[in-house]
Amino acid sequence: MKPGLSLRVSQHLALTPQLQQSIRLLQLSTLELSQEVEQMLDENPFLERNADEAPREEFGLEAADTPAQADDYSADDAIFSGASSASAAGAEPQNDTETPGAGADEPDWSGDGTVEMVPNDAEWGGDAPARTHNGAEGDEADATELARSHESLTAFLHRQALSLRLSEVDCAALRFLIESLNDDGYLEEPLEELAAALAGPEDLEQIEELVHRFTVAQRLLQSLEPTGVGARDLAECLTLQLKALDADEEADPDTVQTALRICQQPLEMLARRDVRRLTQACGDGEERTRAAMALIARLEPRPGRRFADVERNIVIPDVIVRKAGRANGRDGQHNFIVQLNPDVMPRLRVHDIYAGALRGHKGGEGHQGMQQRLQEARWFIKNIQQRFDTILRVSRAIVERQKNFFTHGELAMRPLVLRDIADELGLHESTISRVTTAKYMATPIGTYELKYFFGSGLGTETGGNASSTAVRALIKQFVSAESPTKPLSDSQIAEMLKEQGIECARRTVAKYREALKIAPANLRKAL
């Protein structure tokens, strides 16, 4: 073979770093975005928070009558590069999709929190007025701080243990067991395993001594509040609570004793509410057995439930929806104002002193590296602007499609898929998926994840579609209105849906019922 030269032309997709950052910021949740902003503030000296109202290069949002245009963040907007990939890496990101503006019949979006992105100049951000914060500081306690101040189960038990007059060894054993509890307040590991982990598997004498100490400490632990803490399983937890009731003069002692005997039986019979077998096993009458089962149902199976870490359950909405004026006379529907939550939007700007100093020392040592950091700061501000603008546009489209839901509730939910919103806004489905993941909307009837408003459709007799969310709401309604002594089976629910004009198979009903965490008919039968 002879060496030779050849020329080849090819095309391939490449994402610039700026577009990759746009996609990543779009799919972050509010908490993750806050962490990303903090990290960028630490790493980039040209980026700072906007704390005053001086005109700067900044991330400012103001009231407007129409939503601003946004860029599509989907991978379909990747840059097409030629034979040289190096040229593509340095190219600027291009927006192939044109964003439609607001319609002429759009309601007035003015008001607190309604936003318009500040236009940027050729250098990605010229002078712009700062956004003023309208919230009253200190009026309400921050939900996160309240959650952090919530006392944990271990702290609550340690505080009770301080009142016990124990020796140093017993106090250490009790402290060790408290730290070994799980979130529900159970001591899952056997005492022998805990002792072996401390003394080593070969020191049998030390293990025996530790097991003795742990046994005493476990009895002390089970005497603390909440009742049932320190139990090894559910049966023991219920037994501890029943023994505490037995000491209460208001409780019926015969019913409590029957309940204690039920807890000694396999809990599968109690879960199935098998009254006949429990009556035979306990040797009591059927009426007393039912009363004992009702008593057990009122007990707390997870003693540590109220001490759970509630901070992880806090939801901060990205979008706020509120009613605008009175309902329309012809259809009874309200107009709704959709606005971004101003408390979750970071107020950022480029540090003007550093940027001015960089412009005054062109060609100096390290100038190119500093210029790149300045450009990164401007890109970061621009990408955050686009993120919030896209969230706002998608939220407005969702509210416009699901107006009946906000007026009449779940039963009026319409079928909606990602493609519907993507086609309306001229975006890609992957963009809509990123926008609706871990983003929440506060509405007059509750707070929902944006994905909640999307659902498949079921066929109806009229040839239309019914939303799966509306079908689940109907199933919940049927179950709540059923006779306690004769609960509805899945087949009966499917027939009732058919009477409403909705074609839904029994297996589909079972799937929706399980998703709603509704027990089967045999377990829903009342005591």
| Pairwise CA distance, residues 212 & 191, whole Å | 9
**Inter-CA distances, 513 with 143, 180, 414, 489, 496, Å:** 33, 37, 20, 11, 14
Q: Do the beta carbons of residue 390 and residue 70 sit within 8 Å?
A: yes
If pLDDT is split at 50, 70 and 90, which confidence band does 16 have? confident
Residue 18 structure tokens: 């700026």
195-216 pLDDT tens trace = 888 888 778 888 899 999 999 9
Mean pLDDT computed over 173-177: 92
* pLDDT score at 127: 37
Task: For 411, list phi and psi in degrees, rounded to 5.
Answer: -65, -20
Q: What whole-number distance in Å separates Cα of residue 435 and Cα of residue 73?
A: 10
What is the 3 state secondary structure string of 152-206? CHHHHHHHHHCCCCCCHHHHHHHHHHHHCCCCCCCCCCCHHHHHHHHHCCCCHHH
pLDDT of residue 109: 37
Query: Higher-confidence residue: 456 or 228?
Result: 228
3-state secondary structure of 338: strand
For residues 455-462, average pLDDT: 72
Enumerate the domain spans of the chain.
17-75+107-127+316-435, 153-224, 233-308, 457-524
CA 253 centroid distance within chain: 45
**Residue 345 contacts residue 33 (beta carbons within 8 Å):** no
Confidence category of residue 235, pLDDT binned at 50, 70, 90: very high
List pLDDT tens digits, range 295-325. Answer: 998 999 999 988 876 555 578 899 999 988 6
**Which of helix, strand or coil describes residue 45?**
coil
The amino acid sitting at 317 is: P
Q: Which two tokens stand for residue 333?
A: 């529907």
Please say whether the structural domain 457-524 has been given the CATH code 1.10.10.60.
yes
Residue 279 near residue 286, CB atoms below 8 Å: yes
Asked if residue 191 lies in contact with residue 232, where contact means CB atoms within 8 angstroms, the answer is no
Please tell me the distance from the alpha carbon of residue 292 to that of residue 527, in angstroms, as a whole number: 10
Residues 476 and 386: their CA atoms lie apart, in Å, by: 40
342-374: string of b/e by CB count within 10 Å (b at 16+)? bebbbbbbbbbebbeebeeeeeeeeeeebeeeb
Contact, 242 vs 301, CB < 8 A? Answer: no
pLDDT at 180: 92
Q: What is the pLDDT of residues 94-153, one digit of tens each?
A: 444 333 333 334 434 334 333 333 333 333 333 333 333 344 444 444 545 544 556 889
β-partners of residue 62 are 116
How far is it, in rounded angstroms, from Cα 342 to Cα 68?
A: 16
Angle ∠(179,180,184) on CA atoms, nearest 5: 100
Helical (H) or strand (E) element with 431: helix 429-436
pLDDT number for residue 504: 87
Give Cβ neighbours of residue 343 (< 8 Å, ≥ 6 apart). Answer: 135, 316
Q: What does the pLDDT read at residue 117?
A: 38
Q: Encoding tokens for residue 477?
A: 């309604």
Residue with tokens 């909606």: 416
End-to-end distance of the chain based on CA atoms, in angstroms? 89
Q: 384 pLDDT band (50/70/90 cuts)?
A: very high
Please state the φ and ψ torsions of residue 270, each to the nearest 5 degrees: -70, -40
As given in the structure block, the two tokens for residue 312 are: 């992880």
Task: Give the pLDDT score at 202.
Answer: 79
